[in-house]
Amino acid sequence: MLSFHQSWFWVAVVVNGLVGLWGLGFAVARRDPGRSFLWARGVAITAMLVQIGAGLVLWQQGRRPGNGFHVFYGIVIVFTFTFAYIYRPQLEKRPALGYGLLLLFVMGLGLRAWANVF
């Protein structure tokens, strides 16, 4: 599980970053993101939630990261997605901009979590 968590990190962070930039591109161009962006943001969010789930399994097995900030950033990611779910009607007003910024923020949180492992 540890090797999966370490490897999947890259998938989750890269997918969130790419889809976030894609959303910002739609926002800057003032174009409707369409159905493909809807699916891509679902994949990005799911990828990060799988990463969080793997971390929870490792925690349950007694595997602890180097310091508490790694766990802190994982918790912040969960809260970020929770607030995005609560405020999804507001995010849907300009979905490309809202979700693009959200996914880039989550990517940054993932990178901060990775930086606090050592």
Stated pTM of the model? 0.91
Tell me how far apart the alpha carbons of residues 16 and 117 are, in angstroms, rounded to a whole number. 20
Give residue 118's pLDDT: 64
- When the pLDDT of each residue in the chain is averaged and rounded to a whole number, the result is 93
Q: Is 92 helix (H, G, I), strand (E, B) or coil?
A: coil
What pLDDT score was predicted for residue 109?
A: 96
Q: 88: which 2 tokens?
A: 């999804």
The rounded distance, in Å, linking the Cα atoms of 116 and 88 is 30
Closest C-alpha among 8, 7, 116, 10 to residue 64? 116
